[in-house]
Amino acid sequence: MATVALGSIRKQIESTAPPRGLWCDFPLGRPLGKPGDPDFQHRVLAAAFALLDSPEPVFAEFDEVIHDSGDEMLACPLPPRHDPDAHPAIDEANGLRAAYDRGVEMSNGRFGAGRVVAADDIPAAIESFIRIAEGTPWAEAGIPGMPMRVSHDIRSYYETAALAMVDHAPAAWAGTRWFLDQTETGKVMMAARVAMQEQEAPQPMWFYLTPGDR
Amino acid sequence: MEETHLMADSDIKTMTEGLPAPDFETTAFTTPPPLSEATVAIVTSASLHHPEQDDFEVMDTGYRVLDGSRRDYVTGHWSPNFDGAGFAYDMNTVFPLDRLDELAERGVIGRVADQHIAYAGNQFDLSAIRMDSGPAGAKWLREQGVDVVLLTPV
């Protein structure tokens, strides 16, 4: 059985040295490069399967790079305040629910909430991180599961809602940047992460709440 | 609160590119039949599963068998260090089953395997996959008559 490995990180595919490796310098999470672009995906597959003709182990580079500029961000409208008594993040999450449901339908449920927190319970999950940001010890805040998995469900809830509010394939990380830098809940997650670090929570508990370079 | 900055994909790659890689004594190189006669399967590390299957828990080194006739694939990958919107928008960004079906229709590949395999790519210890679930998955694919495997990383 022959294998062809696509690789997103050059040093990793070089160091693991698969029998046939194609380094595709695309953003992490997009090994075929461009969502919604069958012609591009076929080019990647053609380059990968061409390596099957090699009579010996082979490493190759795909001839096109997809570079993440680091600053592209979705421009999604955020819901206006509805419940002035609610925390802005909770009000925001509730206001995005209709968009989230449309996003789930569009994406066939591939990437929404629900790993450990169902969509209905996302506001309550956000409340636990609000409590941490406001000073409650993280272990007493009522996080409904492992913090990184709960955080992932919250981020996925927002990014799925965003998917329904744009009419194109989002650039890599554009939805994540929107969530972390533009939304009230993103601010809560960043603040809770800092608070957990200051509370000397175990490193994996706070570190994986956001992408690692934050 | 610490000063925030916009992250870039390159920053995350730099953080992870130095992770120690397994050291293989030999390269498992084999020559497949002609692609136009080969059965092709996908093995992905995107933690994909069907809704009714168990999700991937943290440290889950097992695999899930994916039915290629379905399209209800869910990712259980919990790492924050990848973009998930591409897969949400188009599953072929990670799991190019539609593209393989098209290649089979054109006669470029012999046939698409009926079933495929997913592992969880965010692992802290690879020994269980190297010694147990990896070989078990490969054996299972061989028993399905698979000749060529495309590995897609997440």
Residues B72-97: tens digit of each pLDDT: 999 999 889 999 999 999 999 999 99
Nearest-angstrom CA–CA distance, A129 and A108: 28
- Calculate mean pLDDT across residues B18-25: 84
Does residue A51 contact residue A22 with C-beta atoms inside 8 Å? yes
DSSP, res A186:
H
The verdict on ipTM greater than 0.90 is yes
Least CB-CB distance to B88: which of A38, A70, A111?
A: A111
Nearest-angstrom CA–CA distance, A129 and A136: 9
In chain A, pLDDT over 90 holds for what percent of residues? 91
Residues of chain A predicted below pLDDT 70: none
Residues of chain A numbered 171-210 and touching chain B (CB < 8 Å): 172-177, 180-181, 190-191, 194, 208-210
Entry pTM: 0.93
End-to-end CA distance of chain A: 41
Residues of chain A numbered 116-145 and touching chain B (CB < 8 Å): none
DSSP, res A212:
T
- Calculate mean pLDDT across residues B29-49: 97
CA of B76 vs chain A CAs: smallest distance (Å):
7
> Is A41 an interface residue toward B (CB < 8 Å)?
yes
Q: Write down the pLDDT at residue B19.
A: 85
> Is A39 an interface residue toward B (CB < 8 Å)?
no
Gyration radius from chain B CA atoms: 17
| Per-residue pLDDT tens digits for A93-133 | 999 999 999 999 999 999 899 999 999 999 999 999 999 99
H-type alpha helices, A3-146: 10-16, 38-50, 88-95, 97-106, 122-133
| Per-residue pLDDT tens digits for A18-28 | 999 999 999 99
Nearest-angstrom CA–CA distance, A91 and B1: 23
Q: Write down the pLDDT at residue B22.
A: 82
Q: Write down the pLDDT at residue B5.
A: 53
CA of B63 vs chain A CAs: smallest distance (Å):
17
Domain positions in chain B:
42-152
